[in-house]
Amino acid sequence: MTTNESQTRGLYQGWYVVAACLFIALVTVGARQTFGVFVKPMSDDLGWDRTTISLAVSLGLLVNGLTQPFMGYLFDRMGARIIIASLIVVGLATVSLAFTFHILFLAFMFGVVVSTGLSGSGLTNTAALLSKWFRSKRATVVGINSAGVSVGGLILVPFAAYLIEATSWRVTWVVLGLIILVLSVPFALLFLRDSPNKLGQRLGGKPGQPPGGAGGVVPQPSGPLETDQWKQPFQSPPFWQMSAAFFACGATTMVIAIHFVAYAEEEVGASPIMAAWIFSFMMLLNVAGSIGAGILGDRFRRKNVLAAVYLIRGCAYVVLLATSSTFGLWAFAAMAGVSWIATGPLTMSLTADVYGVRALGTISGITFVFHQVGGASAVLLAGALRDATGSYTLPFAIVGSLLFLAALAAFTIKEERYSIRYQARPAAAAGD
Amino acid sequence: MPWSILGSLARHHGEAVDPDLFERIKDLLDSVLVVGPWTIVAGLGVLILLMPVSVVVFYLVQRRRHPGPRVPGPD
């Protein structure tokens, strides 16, 4: 058996990269989501009020959004090393939260250090890495990676809550940090590699000779907008179409994350227990939605699936406002749940298809800023309109209507013209 | 004023689980799961541990069955 044959018969190395990225998303974002369960014990122990301790989360939100393009830029220059370095920083900073004694310590460690580290090991960078390993299954693997965020929340939030109950919040921060340092860092060191080319494997792991394996460089197809300059996409429509749609995505998910339970209780009359069940149901569906959208995105035109996802979420808002009943809440939860993070894998894989992978970390980071700005501005708008009108109807109608514009923006992307998927491929490079 | 707006945002922010909402969900879990906190911590802890361990074991089995060149160190 030759070396090349043995490589193609074993499992493609890219799937180990997927597993490592999934676990990184699970433990890091999960650890971030657990902050909410620390609020009460830390407040009680340190004598802080809820608003004071929440400032650390606010700062973290801001820092995480703003540092994303910068960390994406570093990823484009340094590759997987920046993900591993960020993991170590997040792990050490998480352990150090056990020694919190002052609000400024918490604000700096969680709001600045952890949040900056999470930008480095976050979904935009791991999705950019996975895009270098896969092309035909690109949306599927990014969808699996994104699902790690939801799974992480489902596992680590109750884990942290019960560990606090059994021990203390200080011990729990140490355990969460050690999970990152002891499990995810070695896992990442073992499997995270920049591209299949460096291992002599073909993109996607299809049988055949690896690039350069026959002594020559196999010509790779490239799209008309492919670039290694992060500013270049600003001059082309797909970037603005995807970013504008992602703005609507951020607006509609964050508004629901913050105001859904209040709406369900105050305007529909759902009991607190019922509201909690419905919200949990919606979060559970994230996993299926993210992976399902990825699979569909690889099977059909990504822009059409992306448009469909925005359309489904837009219809969910219509149902929510039109029914104002418990049934409406459940129907909304089902439709919004499957579309909640499904936009991420589709947007990131489409960005990779159109602009290539050389500046993908930076470009995806900038797109993510649109998502965060959309979310923050919509939450503030919704709160202000709720206070002014005494109802969530108007703010939900406004942000919900953005989804139909987002669907239109996604649907009108000229994917066939710009995406690598539809470019003529040299025969030797058409394995994936 | 901006801090109070940010604070209000953060109190319910979706990326960090809402403390009040989670308390209700935890009450639901407590009513369904009639075991102590250590049992749940141990169960979830084993689940977290098994994820990377099972992948590494699978990788080692694959390497044994399909010997090839070693994966080079971090790039």
Coil vs helix vs strand at B64: helix
- Residue A51 with chain B: CB contacts under 8 Å: 4, 7-8, 11
Closest listed residue to residue A172, CA positions, set A101, A113, A114, A100: A100
Interchain proximity B24–A40, CB inside 8 Å: no
> What total number of domains does chain A contain?
2
Predicted pLDDT at A259: 82
More confident residue, A204 or A295: A295
* Position A425 confidence tier, pLDDT thresholds 50, 70, 90: low
Q: Give mean pLDDT, residues A366-378.
A: 89
Residue of A nearest to B61 (CA): A10
Q: Is the pLDDT of residue A1 over 80?
A: no
Same domain assignment for residues A412 and A265: yes
Cβ–Cβ < 8 Å for B16, A32 = yes
Answer yes or no: do B9 and A376 touch at CB < 8 A. Answer: yes
What residue type is assigned to position A82 of the chain?
I
Residue A223: the pLDDT is 84
Contact (CB, 8 A) for A48 and A103: yes
Q: Quick check: is A62 in a domain?
A: yes
Q: Which residues contact A387 (CB under 8 A, 6 or more apart)?
A: none
| Cβ distance of A58 and B13 shorter than 8 Å | yes
Per-residue pLDDT, averaged over A188-193, amounts to 95
How does residue A195 score in pLDDT terms, banded at 50, 70 and 90? confident
* Chain A residues closer than 8 Å to B26 by CB: 158, 161
Residues of chain A positioned with their CB less than 8 A from the CB of B36: 166
Q: So what's the pLDDT on residue A289?
A: 93
Query: Does the predicted model carry a pTM greater than 0.90?
Result: no
Is the model more confident about B16 or about A20? A20
Task: Reply yes or no on whether the pLDDT at A31 is more than 80.
Answer: no
The token pair that represents A167 in the structure block = 């021990």
Determine whether the interchain pair B24/A272 forms a contact, defined as Cβ–Cβ distance below 8 Å.
yes
Q: Are residues A117 and A242 in the same domain?
A: no
Q: Which two tokens stand for residue A217?
A: 């460089």
The answer, for A26 touching chain B at a CB cutoff of 8 Å, is yes
- The residue with greater pLDDT, A272 or A147, is A147
A45 three-class SS: helix
Query: Given this model, what pLDDT does residue A207 score?
Result: 54
Contacts of A11 in chain B (CB under 8 A): 58-59, 62
pLDDT digits (tens, 9 = 90+) for A285-335: 989 999 999 999 999 999 999 999 999 999 999 999 998 888 899 999 999
Domain of A106, CATH number, reads: 1.20.1250.20
In a domain, A204, yes or no: no
> Is A430 among the domain residues?
no
CA dist., res. A359 & res. A76, Å (int): 6
Judge if A153 and A266 occupy the same domain: no
Statement to judge: residues A127 and A18 lie in one domain: yes
- Rounded Cα distance between A112 and A62, Å, is 9
For residues A39 and A144, the model is more confident at: A144
The answer to whether A190 contacts chain B (CB < 8 Å) is yes
DSSP string, A206-255: -SSPPTTTTSSPPPPP--TT--S-TTGGGGSHHHHHHHHHHHHHHHHHHH
- Domain assignment present for residue A103? The answer is yes
pLDDT score at A104: 93
Give the per-residue pLDDT at A255. 86
CA angle A265, A266, A268 (to 5 degrees): 70
**Of the candidates A386, A299, A305, the residue with the CA atom closest to the CA atom of residue A343:** A305
User: By the CB < 8 Å criterion, does A155 face chain B?
Assistant: yes
Give residue A4's pLDDT: 43
C-alpha A14/C-alpha A24 separation (Å) is 15
Our CA-based measurement puts residue A231 at a distance from the nearest CA of chain B, in whole angstroms, of 26
Contacts of B27 in chain A (CB under 8 A): 273
- Say yes or no for a CB contact (<8 Å) between B14 and A36: no
- Among A196-205, A274-283, A394-403, top mean pLDDT goes to A394-403
Angle, CA A82 vertex, CA A89 and CA A203 arms, to 5°:
140
- The share of chain A scoring above pLDDT 90, in percent, equals 61
Q: How far is A85 from chain B (nearest CA, A)?
A: 11
Residue B11 has pLDDT above 60, yes or no: no
- Shared domain for A128 and A41, answered yes or no, is yes
CB pairs under 8 A between A and B: 177
Average pLDDT over residues A149-158: 88
Asked whether residue B5 carries a pLDDT value surpassing 80, the answer given is: no
Exposure b/e, A286-304, CB count within 10 A at least 16 = b: bbebbbbbbbbbbeebbbb
Q: Is residue A80 part of a domain?
A: yes
Contact A258 B21 (CB under 8 A): no
Q: Which of B52, B59, B61 is nearest to A13 (CA)?
A: B59
Residue A161 distance to chain B (closest CA, Å): 8
A176 with A311, same domain: the answer is no
What pLDDT does A68 receive?
93
pLDDT digits 0-9 by tens, A5-22: 344 457 899 999 999 999
CB A48 within 8 A of CB A100: no
The per-residue pLDDT for range B22-74, each reduced to its tens digit, is 777 788 778 877 888 999 999 999 999 999 999 999 999 988 887 765 554 44
Mean pLDDT of chain A: 87
Q: Residue A427 above 60 pLDDT?
A: no
Average pLDDT value for residue range B7-17: 48
CB of A182 within 8 Å of a chain B CB? The answer is no
- Give the integer Cα–Cα distance in Å for A160 and A152: 11
- Judge whether A216 and A46 are in contact, CB under 8 Å: no
Q: Does residue A431 lie within any of the structural domains?
A: no
The stretch A209-229 carries a mean pLDDT of: 64
Å between B19 CA and nearest CA of chain A: 5
Distance CA A368, CA A344 (A): 9
**A208 located within any domain:** no
Same domain, residue pair A288 and A375: yes
DSSP structural state of residue A257 = H
Q: How far is A236 from chain B (nearest CA, A)?
A: 31
The domain in which residue A254 lies consists of 232-422
A405 has pLDDT over 60? yes
Q: Domain boundaries in chain B?
A: 35-68
Q: Looking at residue B70, what is its pLDDT? A: 53
Of A11, A20, A162, the CB nearest to B41: A162
Confidence of residue A204 (pLDDT cuts 50, 70, 90): low
A70 located within any domain: yes
User: What pLDDT score does A267 carry?
Assistant: 87
Q: What is the ipTM of this complex?
A: 0.83
